[in-house]
Amino acid sequence: MKKRVVLVGMGFGGIHAARVLAGKGLDVILVDRNNYHLFQPLLYQVATAGLEQESIAHSVRAMARSWPGTRFQLAEATGIDFASHDLLTNTGPIHYDYLVIGAGSVTNYFGLTSVERNAFDLKELSDAETLRNHILTAFERAVIEPDPARQRALMTFVIVGGGPTGVEFSGALVELVHFVLAKDYPELKTQAARVVLIEATDELLVAMPESQRMYTLNKLRSMSVEVLLNARVVDAGPEQVILHDGAVIPAHTLFWSAGVKAAPLAATLDTPPMAAGRIPVEPDLTLPGHSEVYVIGDMAFLKQDSSVLPMTAPVAMQMGIYAGNAILAREGGRTPSPFRYRDKGTMATIGRNAAVASAFGMNFRGYFAWLVWLLLHLYYLIGFRNRIVVMLNWVWYYWYHERQVRLITKRETGQEL
C-alpha cells in the first residue's frame, strides 16, 4: 500500500512540493478550493486592465498530468482530525499519512470594520476582475456626474500600504489613468484624477535598502502619485477615507494592501497561532507534536537568525520544496536537516522602465531592474501559453501605451450605473 501525501493549497508552496513528490512512488493528493494555481504577484495587472485574468491562472489538472502519482481534488479544507489522520473538507474527509498545509493568507484589516466593508483587496482572481470593473465604472460615472466635487471623488483612488503590492498597484493605476484612460475619456479632465498612496511608517518598501526606498518614493511622486507617509486610515465610507489626524479624502475607491494574516484554516489547528494568525512550526516545518504534518508558506511562523521569515512567494516555494524532500528523506530512512531560507533578494516594479531590485548585496534600479523583473515574472508564471499571452500584453503596452482589457464585465450591484 502506497503512502499517501495530501497537499492542501496549490499556491507557490503547494505546487513546488507536488513537483518534488511526483513520480516517487507515493500517492499524492492535491487539494484546493479552486481548480487552478494563481500567480498572485500579477493580480494588480489584471486589476489595472493590463492582463486578462485567465493568463495568470493555470489548471491544476493540466499540471497534474505531468506529475505521475498525483491527483487533484477540488475541495475546501475545513479542519484536521489529527487522531484519525484525516483532512476534513466540504466534500468529505481525506485520509493522509503525510499532510502538507499551505493554505496561504487572507487580507488583514486589523479590526477596522468600516474599512473592510468599503475597501477592495487583491487576494483572489475574482478580486482583480471586481476591482477593474469598479475602476472603469467609476470613470463612466464621472462622465455623467454634474457635481465637480463628486466627479473628482469618482476619480480619486486611495491605496493603503506602501509594500510591494501598494507600490506596484499605485504605479500601474496612475499609468492606466494618464496613458490610457486620458485618451478614452476626452470629455473628462483626467489630470484631475488622484492616486493617493498611504503608508503608516516613514518609508515605502521597508524590506529594501535606503537608496531603493528613496528611488521608489521619488519615482512614484514624479509619476504624480500622492504619497502620504506616517499616515494611517482609521475609518472609511463608500465615498470617503478618514485619516488618523481627522483629514478626510473624498474618494470613491479604497484599496487595502496594508496587511495579511494566515488563512482561516490555521485557527482550526492544534497549535495556538502567533502574530497574524500564523502557526509556529519546528525547524523542519512540522507542526509541534505532529511530525507527519507540515505547514508551509504564509501560514508558517518560523524565526531564522532571530527574524521571522516574511510572507512571500520565495519563502513559500523554498518551504514547499523542502517539505517534499523531507518526506522523501524520511521515507528513505534519512533524517532531514532543518529548513533554511536562502534570501535571493526582493524586487518591485514601479512603472514603465522603472523597478527596484536588491539581490546578492547589490541594488539595481530603473530600466535594468525593470527588465529583470519582467523576465523573472515570466519565468515563474506557470504555463507556456500564459507566458506568451502575458508577454504579448506587455509588448503591446510598451509600444502602444494600450491596455486592452478595459472591459466592465460585471455591472456593480445596487447602483444605478
Q: Shortest CA distance to 292 belongs to which of 264, 331, 243?
A: 331
Q: Which stretch binds its own copies (CB under 8 A): 85-93, 107-115, 209-217, 335-343?
A: 85-93
Q: Which of residues 349-378 bind its own copies (CB under 8 A)?
A: none
**Which range touches its own copies (CB under 8 A), out of 46-54, 100-108, 201-209, 265-273?**
46-54
Question: Which residue is catalytic, options 52, 168, 175, 199?
Answer: 168
Beta-carbon contacts of 48 under 8 Å, excluding residues fewer than 6 positions away, are: 132, 135, 169, 172, 173, 175, 176, 403
User: Which of 128, 157, 122, 330 lies closest to 241, judged by CA?
Assistant: 157
Cell numbers placing 75: 475541495
Largest Cα–Cα distance in the chain?
74
Per the annotation, the verdict on 54 as an active-site residue is no
408 scored as a contact of its own copies (CB under 8 A): yes
Phi first, then psi, for residue 220 (nearest 5°) are -60, -45
Q: Is 388 in the site for its own copies (CB under 8 A)?
A: yes
If the CB atoms of residues 74 and 376 are measured against its own copies, the closer one turns out to be: 74
- Identify the three-state secondary structure at position 290: strand
Q: Provide, rounded to whole angstroms, the least separation between the CB of residue 33 and its own copies.
A: 8
**Measured from the CB of residue 187, what is the shortest distance to its own copies in angstroms?**
6
Which residues have C-beta within 8 Å of that of residue 101, sequence separation ≥ 6? 8, 9, 77, 80, 265, 269, 293, 294, 295, 296, 299
Indicate whether 136 belongs to the interface with its own copies (CB under 8 A): yes
Q: Where are the beta strands (DSSP E) in 148-228?
A: 156-160, 194-198, 226-228
Per CB under 8 A, 383 contacts its own copies: yes
389 lines the binding site for its own copies (CB under 8 A)? yes
Cβ distance to its own copies smaller for residue 116 or 402:
402
One-character DSSP codes across 229-249: -S--EEEEETTEEEETTS-EE
Q: Which listed residue (140, 203, 284, 331) binds its own copies by CB under 8 A?
A: 140
Q: Nearer to its own copies by C-beta: 62 or 378?
A: 62
Q: Quick check: 267 binds its own copies (CB under 8 A)?
A: no
- Cα angle, residue 223 at apex, residues 220 and 228 outer, rounded to 5°: 45
Q: Which lies closer to its own copies via its Cβ, residue 71 or residue 117?
A: 71
Q: Is 177 helix (H, G, I), strand (E, B) or coil?
A: helix
| Cβ at position 144, least distance to its own copies in Å | 5
- What mask, x for binding its own copies by CB under 8 A, covers residues 156 to 195? ---------------------------xxxxx--------
Strand partners, 37: 58
Residue 203 burial (CB count, 10 A): 16
With binding defined as CB under 8 A, does residue 385 bind its own copies?
Answer: yes
Query: Which residue of 23, 92, 264, 338 would you call a contact of its own copies, by CB under 8 A?
Result: 92
Catalytic residues: 168
The residues that touch its own copies, with contacts defined as CB under 8 A, are 33-36, 52-55, 57, 59, 61-62, 65, 71, 73-75, 90-92, 125-126, 136-137, 140, 143-144, 183-187, 383, 385-386, 388-389, 392-393, 396, 402, 404-411, 416-417
